[in-house]
Amino acid sequence: MFMPSEEQEEFQRILQNAIEDLVNARPSEPIKYLAQSLYQSLPVAEQNDQEFPEFAAARNHPYNVRVGDSSSNPNVQYPEGFVPSRRPSVCGESISEEELAWRPPTFDKDLGTLTRLKEMLTKNILFSHLSEENIATVADALELIEIPAGELVIKQHDTGNACYFVEEGSLKCDVEGRGHVCNYAKEDSFGEVALMYGNIRGATISAITDSKLWKLDRMTYKKIVLNFMLPKRSKFVEFLTRVSIFNTLPETIMNELAKHSHHLVYEPGYVIYSASHADRYLYLIEKGVAVIKYKDKDVQRLGPFEFFGDRSIFGEVTEADRAEAETDCCIYRFPEPIIDSILDLIKDELREQSSLKLL
């Protein structure tokens, strides 16, 4: 599909945001959730509610992200479905603190191969949010396997337990009732959904030619990601205690919020928020200064422990059209569905404060 470079960049940005939110929210209906997220990324003027009335309804009734089955603390009014305990971040099983002492496997590779694998991982949407250290750990854990021509790699309806990157050869993807869907070649990947959910396989993939694949099992990915999340969670909870609107939350909920946050770094002059984008997030400033602008004029400066983006989440008219990083700016970002469910405890106070702000 041909697409001008600027449109392709915008499309990739929207798609990456949608999939990042999907991975963090883990909704019960991921396809519906992703479809709604992509539709809502359109400018409001382009959202055809007559053609897609179900999405108009979804916009008025935000998707409820369930994070558990019951509440366990009678002294705290948790959001519906909230369980104050560690929730799996991106997959089905839970992992105990003891299991996190486990070390990821490593498979010998030369420096050139490791460098190439790390570059490949940073281009993959499932791994692009990881730090350089995490990427290196995943690259070390990739196992090279050989698949003879004609042999199955994945069988439809089997339980998913790994994802694969093509090192060499050609493979085909077939789906029951549809037949041949696509082929995979060098540096293509498949099976990523299994890492997020442990779903049964939705297709059969077999080798057309003798092939070599890099394999990453789901538990290795899960343990790597959660292991590196522990320092982040402790740092994040400490940060939240210094933000006025969050410091009264129970630590159990702060731990949950850590799992749904994205930690981003913006260089000076970089646009953090633009009214032209339909993406809706709450932004918390950890370090640095952000400038709120209206028609290219500076109207407000925000620093550490301040936040913005809440007015657009509540559908209120903003008195600014973008936010830019004035200095190197470290930001914690929450997608709208998280605000609509997990943050129910502070939503009224958040709405009240948003009425006094520009963005």
Mean pLDDT by groups of 10 residues along the chain of 359 residues: 56 64 60 68 52 49 35 37 33 48 84 95 78 89 96 90 94 90 90 70 93 90 67 78 82 77 80 74 89 86 87 60 86 76 65 57
Burial class (CB in 10 A: 0-12, 13-18, 19+), 238: exposed
**What was the pLDDT predicted at 21?**
60
pLDDT tens column, 18-36: 665 665 555 666 677 677 6
**What was the pLDDT predicted at 4?**
58
**What was the pLDDT predicted at 23?**
56
Q: What strands lie across the sheet with 179-184, from one edge to the other?
A: 152-154, 204-207, 171-175, 179-184
**What was the pLDDT predicted at 259?**
72
User: At what angle are helices 132-141 and 111-122 packed, to 10 degrees?
Assistant: 120
**What was the pLDDT predicted at 96?**
52
Fold of the CATH domain 261-354: Jelly Rolls (2.60.120)
On the question of a common fold for 111-222 and 261-354, the answer reads: yes
Structural domain boundaries in the chain = 5-60, 111-222, 261-354
Distance of CA 130 to the CA centre of its chain: 11
Give the Cα separation of 31 and 61 in Å (integer): 17
Fold of the CATH domain 111-222: Jelly Rolls (2.60.120)
Give the Cα separation of 106 and 278 in Å (integer): 42
pLDDT tens column, 255-283: 777 777 777 778 788 888 887 765 678 88
Give the Cα separation of 304 and 136 in Å (integer): 31
Work out the mean pLDDT of the chain and round it to a whole number. 73
